[in-house]
Each structure stands twice: as C-alpha cells, then as structure tokens.
Structure 1
Amino acid sequence: MKRRIKVALLVLSDIIFINAAIFLGYFFRFSWRIPPAYLERYKESFIPISILMVISFYIFKLYTSIWRYASIEELLSVIVAVSVGSAVSFIYGVVMRNRLPLSVYFVMWAFTIMASGGLRFLRRVIMHFEGMQALSGKKGKRILIFGAGDAGAIVAKEMKKHPELGYIPVAFVDDDKSKKGKYIQGIPIVGDRNDLGDVVEEMAIDEILIAIPSADKEERAEIIRLCSQTGCKLKTLPGIYELIGGKVTISQIRDVEIEDLLGREPVELNIDEIADYLKDKVVLVTGGGGSIGSELCRQIARFNPKKLLILDIYENGAYNLSMELKSQYKDLDQEVIIASIRERERLREIFKKYRPNVVFHAAAHKHVPLMEANPKEAIKNNILGTLNVVRCADEFGVEKFVLISTDKAVNPTNIMGATKRFAEMIIQAYDKVSKTEYVAVRFGNVLGSSGSVIPLFKEQIKKGGPVTVTHPEINRYFMTIPEAAQLVIQAGAMAEGGEIFVLDMGKPVKIVDLARQLIRLSGFEPDKDIKIEFTGLRPGEKLYEELLMNEEGLKKTKHKKIFIGKPGEFDVDKINSMIESLIDALDDEDEKIFKLMEEFVPTYKRKQD
C-alpha cells in the first residue's frame, strides 16, 4: 500500500510539472498576454497531454525504478520518456488540430526533464550526502584502491553507498599517469605504483585493495609484491577469468592469498581430448575426500562422467565434497564409497559392482616426518594399497589408471618418498602385462593442501608468531590445487601407458620467503611484528626437491606444462617378490623395512641424523 501511495504522489507531481511547463512555455512565447484562443486549446488538450506523458513515463519504467540507486541509465530513461511523451503530444495536437505553439512543446520538454528528473534524483543526492556524512563520522578502514578503472570505480561507489561495511575509500593509485590529479566518485587519483609508500604514509592507509581484474597473473603478482612492502593488509578482486559473467561486485573482495603471488597463468586444457576419456565413463577417485582427490572430483564433474565414485576411508571430507557437488552439478550421478585401499576384497567388490573405466589413485600417506616414524604404515598404504588398486584395475578391465605421485619420489631420502617411488615402479611393471594403461603424474607441493606449510603459517601468524621454518635455505616447488588437478587430468588424456608425467612447477620457492610474504599479506612486518624461527630439518627432509631422476631423461609433450620421463624397465614377478619380502618384514623391527627399501629402490638413500 505504501508503495502505491508513493507512485500516486509521483504521478501527481509529474502532472503538475507537465502543466506548469506548458504555462511556462506560454509565458516565454506570449509573456503574460496569452491569447484566449491558446488558453482554450490548453483547456481542451491538457488532460490528453498529461495522460500521454504519464503513459510514456510508465512505459519507460519511471514509476518502477528504485531512485535511491539512480545512475546515468536512469537519467537516460527520463530523457527518452519525456522526449517520446512530448513527441506523441505534438502529433496528437496536429492530428486533432489543437496544436500548441512549437516553443511551448520545447519548453515543456526541457522543464519536465529538469523537474521530473530532478525530483527523482533528489533521493539519490540525499542518499549520497547521507553516505558522505556517515563516512566522515564513522570509524573504519582507510582504503587505497590500486586501479582507477571500471572495477575500482564500482567498488569505490559501493563502499561509499554502504558505509556500514566499514570501508572508507580515500584515494586511488593507477599506472596511467594521465589520470593523476583527477577524481572518481569524488576520490582523488594521487599517483602510480612508485608513489605507494608515500601515499600509504601520508594518508594513513590501513588496507590496499587491488582492483585490476584484467591484469594477467604475472602482473598481479608483481603489484601484490609491491603493495605488500607497504605493511598494509591487502585485499583484491578476482581475475577477470574468475569473475562470474565478468561483473565486479563488492562481495567479491577477498584477502590476497599466497597463491596470488605465484604469478602463474591459468592452465590451458585440451577440452576435447579430456572429454573423450571422461565423458559418459565411470570414474573412480581414491582418496577422493582429500585435498587433491576432491579437486580432481570437482574438475572431473565438469566433463559429464556417467558416474563419479568418491572413495575414501575418512567420511567427513568425502561427505562435504558430495554435498558441494550436488549443489553445483544437479545432474551428476555420484556416489561416496567408504573403504580402505588396504582391503583388497573390499576393493574387488567395488570394482566388480561399478566397473570403473578410469581410476585416479590419490589415496596415500604423505607426511614425511610421520611416515619416518611409522614406516610400516607407509608400506601398507602407499605400496600394498596401491598394489591392491592396480590389481583390481587389471582384473576388471579399467581403461586408464593414473597414479598421483610426488617430487619426493625422486632420489628419496625418506620412507614416504621411497614408497611413492615403489608405487611408480608397480604401475610401470603392470603396464607391460595389462591391457590397462597405467601412468603416474609427479608434482611438488600444493598450496593450501592439508598438511602444507601455508595453513600452519596462517595459524602461527594468527597467534602472533613465531612462524617456524625448518632451515633458512630450504626450498620447494609449488602449484595451486586446481592447477595440479587440471594438469593431472590432462596428462591422463595424453597417456599411452607406462609414462611418468612430470608437471612444470615453475621455479622453486624458498620457504622462508614464503613465510615473509604471508606475514606481509597479513599486514605485519616480518622479524619485527612476527618473528621467524628456524627449527632444523626434520627426519628424512631434504633442503631441495627434485622432479626427475637423472636416468629417466625428459621429453616434451604437446602441452607446455607437461613432460614425460622415459618408462622404466620393471618386471611384475620381481616386483611381486619384493612386495612379499616387505609383507614378511612388517612383523619385524622398523629397521628391516628401511634396509629393504634401500635395497629395492636403488635411488633411496636414507637420511640419518
């Protein structure tokens, strides 16, 4: 009811403005001496003219727009509505031979635009000044926006419109020097990236928002590095390829993550090639609730598999993933299977029932220090568990089998890496005697995965430090979880059997540099606000990881980020004999396990303190 009253009052005000405009036109045309004949014409035509104008206003939604959010689009609607109404009124006068003077129609057009448009925009002006007043009197975070383009303008406008969010946009910086000294939404553009330090200090900036979604990842990473040196907490908008429909909203503002600093471009996938081996196929992912396994499931779901099987021993991660996939892929046929890869008969039951066409084997123990202290568990899971899945794949006619391996399998110095290398040996041996195409994909550390350093560092920073790093020189290869999963799927499409695919991990990163960058992204100064402590290398830990053994060689593929190591020469009978020896050693002391693994994996050199 309240809305109807507002519309009725708006219609009434428009009628008053229209008729006042006609008299104003008469005044300009005749001064105060209006000929009686024209007054008579007015009496005969003011009702039709008012009705025609109101109908035009209604057609162009001047009575349904929310004017508190009025912008240039609404202004154009007012102009078009008044113009159409005036033109139709003129035509009506000509047809009915009751036309007013031309100057009257012109004045009516101009005055109605100013009066009716002004009334509507008055609400927008009041809202603007209320927002400015609220901003000036409200305590909030003083925001410097890096990027004075469309995205920056949109978020600045939203921040001013919603002071309750606690953002106070105070300035822009932009690398386009021609913009310096100009204003957007009343906010000055004060310089470029070279002025960051001075601007932050002089304007007491609390946070920097990086609003350049069109920049490539390498450029964004460089800007983030520069901004992080100011000591401000950083926020960003997603890249343009991440934005839904390419639209920017204030809700998309997020903290800058360490992944943003990698500067790696999105993975280019051969969609047709991947679709050929995943579409309408039954796909099984072991360890499907884990960091890599769950992302594999998300990526596989895009390619319309006949059925997606999420196998895991831990129910929580698998359940959460299942709920997520149900909400995003309504038509996806998926099933969660709670099972252990250590139980071969349970696996045979699963393979017999579902007959998977493709298997991604991501289930594994991966924590180096924990496995060093529990070597038998590493054998049971990473070797015997892998063997069970490999044998089931062979028995039940799986087309492709992709093992998720690790850079720690290269010249391993720990039992975890040695067991993963042995798993690679298993799939290379079985590839020679099976119709199934067995391959392995090897990559380094994945940012944000469970057990990685990033969640640990974040928790330590949250507590005020110290951040613990094992050694000042230790480095690792890193990639993001989606990047790793996409490349694994692409490698599977390229597999012919027996290969070890090696993913391009970029340049290795020093862990201490990663810690310092993460501290800066959190708005603190390393070694000043948050201390970094070195704790010493853990059992079995290397200073440097390798991705390829010397004897394997390396061959390029058609994908610039995927390489192939030469297939190894391994015999199934010999592999099975080794495994029997390992099974027997499970009843002995741990030392027997270490010695056997050094014998069976020639590149494994146990690192002892």
Structure 2
Amino acid sequence: MLAPFRISLRTLLRAGNLMAFSDTFSDGDLSYVATHRRSSLFTADIERSADLLSDRLSEKRILITGGAGSIGASTLRELLKFRPRAVHVVDIGENPLAELTRDLRSQADVPLPPDLRFLPIDFGGPAMQRHLKDEPAYDQILHFAAHKHVRSEKDVPSLLQMLDTNALKLDRFLRWLPLYGHEGAEIFAVSTDKAANPSSFMGASKRLMEHVLFASGAQGAPRRSTRFANVAFSNGSLPQAFLFRLARRQPLAAPEGSRRFFVSLRESGEICLLAACAVPAGHIVFPNLDPATNLRPMLEIAEGVLAHHGLKPAYYEDETAAIRAVESELANGRYPLIVTPLDTGGEKPYEEFVGAGESATGVGLEEMSGIPYEAFPADLPAAIEALAALRDDISRDVTKTDVQQQLLRVVAGFRHADSDRSLDQRA
C-alpha cells in the first residue's frame, strides 16, 4: 500500500505566507532554494543606515497602503523596530489584514506603537478621503497597493481594473494629500522590474505609476520608488504555488527558459525601508543583483522545492498525463513537473532593472543602486484623463489597442509581447 505523502506544517505555513520573521536564515529556510543566500544581502546597509532610519521613523506618523500583502507586511515589521508613534495600515483585503493584526499582537518581540490601526478600506475610495480629512499630517506614506500579475491583462475589464489600481487611483490619492494637510509627507511607492522596457501592460502600468508618483512631487515634496525582484514564496508567487500544489497533490508547473531575480521576504522589507528612508529623493532604486549569478531559472526553483521535500522531478509536457501520474510517481519518490513553453502574453524571458535611456548611479548603499527620475512626460495629464475615460465610459467598446495607444504617449519603449495564450490557461 502506498504510504501517504505528507507535507509539513512549516511548509503549509510558508505556503500561506504566515512564516516567522527571524534575524537569521536557517538551513531549512526555503528562501535559500530561490535566492541561494543564507543571510540577508542588506544587513550591512541596514546597520550603517540605522541612525538615518531612526531619524526618519522614530516618533513619526506613518501611513501604509496595501500593507497586508507580502511586501507591505514585511516592511511594516522592519519599520516597527524603529518605534514610530503612529502606524495606520490600509488594505482592502479583510482576511490578510485581520491575520496581520493577530500576528503582530501575538509576538512578544515586536514593539508596537501607541497608535496602531488596521483599516479595511480602498486607498482610492471615499473612505480613504474621509480618513485623510480626519487625521493629523503623516510624516511618511508607504504605498504597496497594486495589481502585480501579468495574467491580470487577460481581458479588457481586468486590464482596466489593473490600470485603475496601479495608476489612476494613485493619481487621485496623491491629489487628496494637499487638500487635507498631508502635503509634507515623504512618499515611497513600490514599482517592479517589469517597468523597465515593459513588454506587458502590467509593467507599463507600473511605469505609469512611477510617472504619477514623481509628478506629484514636482514642487519639492520627497518621492522615492524601487523596482523589485521577485519575492521568494510570497503571496501569489510561483514558488508559493509550488507549495500549494504539493500540499494538494497536484503537479508542479514551471516555464522553460524563464529566469528571475529573487529576494527573500525579509530582504523585501529591508529594500523598501532603505528605499523609503535612506536614499536621496527623486530616485528609483533597485538591488545590486548580478544577472550572471543571480538570475535563477524557474525550472531550477521547482526542482529545488521538490528536493527540499525529498522528491525527484518527473518531467511532463502534457497536463492531463501529469495530473493522473501523481500517485504513481510518488510511489517511486518522484513528483510530476510540467515544463511549459514561455509563450503567454506579456511575459519576458529575463528581468532587468534599468530601461533604455536610463542610467544607474550610486545612492550611498553597498547593495543598492538608483536611477535618477527625469522630468515626467508632458502628455501625462492628458493620458491619465484619457485612460480614466476608457475606464468610466461603459457605453464605449474598448480594446487593448485603445489602452496601448494611451500608454505609448507616456511609456517610452512599451512593446507588448502579444499572444493568444494566457497564464489562466495553464496549470
């Protein structure tokens, strides 16, 4: 009789992104499978920047939007170490927000500020406007709310929602700040590596977000951003999906020829903390990861996850055959791994942080560099207005080409990798 395959509680917790946050990476830490690092890349930069971080955060009032996601929650945990006076966490996701609340209030070693609030509201909706009206001025605003999946451009309604969340709502939110006394707040927003030479609407929407962010600071208010690598085993990530597939006895699937940069969850919080508080204003910063050594094939990550659980890959191309083979492969210490072609819309085979026409410079940190933001496009206000009209006029037939034409006004180098296949058609 086949012995039941068991997956550990630790792995299930990681799959649900409820992992513990420690100062060291154990040998069993799954993040090593993706990053090949046993300790944080940014420890020295955090230590050297401690006084500056304390000056920017200690006894300050901080607003975090989209703060219950993987990166936002990790950043929250890092900044709490510097003892701010007030932290208000906004996220439309009730369940992750509730779990974040329980988790923080259950940890003895996390210093909590006197005014710590978790608000289940939309950062771009009327409730947010009311909140800004009622609150004293914030010192720091950290923005994480986003649609981050390339698969979200699969159809026009999903694409318009992605543009609304990633750029149009942010434009509205930033316009509210001076109306209600928050014009002096330093603002940081997370971008993505896909904003460099974008091949997807998602990447183009985040490049548009960068323009919106820095245009709002044209009068001198500090603005900063970071282009991110993939966060290993974070919510919605493919490595996390590997854990879910194992837990549910379903085949793993990974694209052949796709290489990605990875940082750990802890590193993601450290990157954001440094980018928000320890670099010159007006920069988009990114981690100094070497493409030759740090770009990891996704297929290798899947193989590493299987090895971590004592399994060898059994490669398949046919999804149905792989689904049917789970139990028989497990009987021999193997697990089905579907190898898929990289042929879905918007996908790039590799990642990059610096786009065409941009140049990187030092920002005073050992493990991070920055791109000085130049002037925002003259057509930005008109493009924002036109995209909002596409979103709002439901009597009009809107195509992806209509959206692309508006994005091309302000996103130089946008070349959409079109395909009739979507990630939603894959396991």
TM-score range, shorter chain: 0.7 to 0.9
1:326-345 paired onto structure 2 within 5 Å: 326-328=105-107, 329=110, 331-332=112-113, 333-343=115-125, 345=126
Q: Does 1:405 align with 2:191?
A: yes
**What is the deviation of 1:535?**
2.7
1:554-573 paired onto structure 2 within 5 Å: 554-570=360-376
Q: Give the CA RMSD over aligned residues.
A: 2.3
Picking from 218, 238, 241, the partner of 1:456 is: 241
Equivalent pair of 2:170/2:209 in contact (CA under 8 Å):
yes
Picking from 323, 333, 347, the partner of 2:102 is: 323
1:140-155 paired onto structure 2 within 5 Å: none
Aligned CA distance change for structure 1 residues 240 and 337 (closer, same or farther; 3 Å) = closer
Secondary structure at 1:432 match in 2: coil
1:93-492 paired onto structure 2 within 5 Å: 242=24, 255-259=28-32, 262-264=35-37, 265-266=39-40, 267-268=42-43, 269=46, 270-328=49-107, 329=110, 331-332=112-113, 333-343=115-125, 345-354=126-135, 355-373=137-155, 374-395=158-179, 396-433=182-219, 435-470=220-255, 472-492=256-276
Gap regions ≥5 residues in structure 1: 1-237, 244-252
Secondary structure at 1:443 match in 2: coil
Secondary structure at 1:518 match in 2: helix
Equivalent pair of 2:193/2:227 in contact (CA under 8 Å):
yes
Secondary structure at 1:534 match in 2: strand
Picking from 381, 385, 403, the partner of 1:593 is: 403
**What is the deviation of 1:261?**
5.7
Q: Which whole-Å CA distance do the structure 2 matches of 1:473 and 1:441 have between them? A: 26
Q: What's the counterpart of residue 412 of structure 2?
A: 602
Equivalent pair of 1:401/1:437 in contact (CA under 8 Å):
yes
Q: Which whole-Å CA distance do the structure 1 matches of 2:22 and 2:140 have between them? A: 33
Gap regions ≥5 residues in structure 2: 1-19, 315-328, 420-427
Picking from 512, 523, 547, the partner of 2:299 is: 512
Equivalent pair of 2:226/2:272 in contact (CA under 8 Å):
yes
Q: Which deviates the most, 489-498 or 295-304?
A: 489-498
What stretches of structure 1 move > 4 A for 4+ residues in a row? 238-241, 253-256
Q: Percent identity?
A: 23
Question: For residues 523-548 of structure 1, what are the alpha-carbon distances to aligned partners after superposition, in whole Å with 9 as ceiling and x for unaligned?
Answer: 01122712322233322111112111
Larger fraction in helix = 1
Secondary structure at 1:564 match in 2: strand
Secondary structure at 1:408 match in 2: helix
Aligned CA distance change for structure 1 residues 465 and 317 (closer, same or farther; 3 Å) = closer
Picking from 488, 498, 521, the partner of 2:308 is: 521
Secondary structure at 1:283 match in 2: strand
Equivalent pair of 1:504/1:563 in contact (CA under 8 Å):
yes
Aligned CA distance change for structure 1 residues 361 and 346 (closer, same or farther; 3 Å) = same
**What is the deviation of 1:392?**
3.0
**What is the deviation of 1:478?**
0.5
**What is the deviation of 1:254?**
8.5
**What is the deviation of 1:239?**
12
Q: Which whole-Å CA distance do the structure 2 matches of 1:414 and 1:289 have between them? A: 25
Equivalent pair of 1:286/1:363 in contact (CA under 8 Å):
yes
Secondary structure at 1:380 match in 2: helix
Pick 1 or 2: higher relative contact order, CA cutoff 8 A, min separation 6: 2
Equivalent pair of 2:383/2:409 in contact (CA under 8 Å):
no
Question: For residues 168-227 of structure 1, what are the alpha-carbon distances to aligned partners after superposition, in whole Å with 9 as ceiling and x for unaligned?
Answer: xxxxxxxxxxxxxxxxxxxxxxxxxxxxxxxxxxxxxxxxxxxxxxxxxxxxxxxxxxxx
Structure with the greater alpha carbon radius of gyration: 1
**What is the deviation of 1:367?**
1.1
TM-score by length of 1: 0.56
Q: Which whole-Å CA distance do the structure 1 matches of 2:233 and 2:417 have between them? A: 27
